[in-house]
Amino acid sequence: MVNSLPEERIFKVSELTQLLKLTLESQFASIQVLGEASGVVLASSGHLYFTLKDSAGAMKVVMFRGNLLKSTLGKLENGQQIIVRGVLSVYPARG
């Protein structure tokens, strides 16, 4: 019997995460998102990590030290409503 279904490409995890990174960074090179900060952590590296969420979704956010030093954000606290601006991306090593 001949299989009439078209062959689907099978991606390696690293290929797919790299493709996601390139697609997100080209389509969302500068984006603003409104949400509530949660799980705010200022790491010893100086990077700020938190989750930005609303009632129906959540996304992880990293603000790198250099950007944090230049920002006017002040002290970010859990529950604070903020607008973040940046590049939407994915870190391929962690998906």
Q: Kindly provide the residue ranges of all beta strands, DSSP E only, lying in 1-95, ordered along the sequence.
A: 31-42, 48-53, 58-63, 81-86
pLDDT of residue 1: 54
Give the Cα separation of 35 and 78 in Å (integer): 11
pTM, rounded to two decimals: 0.80
What's the pLDDT band for 27 if we cut at 50, 70, 90?
very high
List, in order of start, the domains of the chain with CATH numbers: 30-95 (2.40.50.140)
The C-alpha atoms of residue 35 and residue 80 are separated, in whole angstroms, by: 8
Query: pLDDT at residue 85 above 60?
Result: yes
Mean pLDDT in residue range 17-39: 95
DSSP state of 8: P
Distance CA 70, CA 46 (A): 12
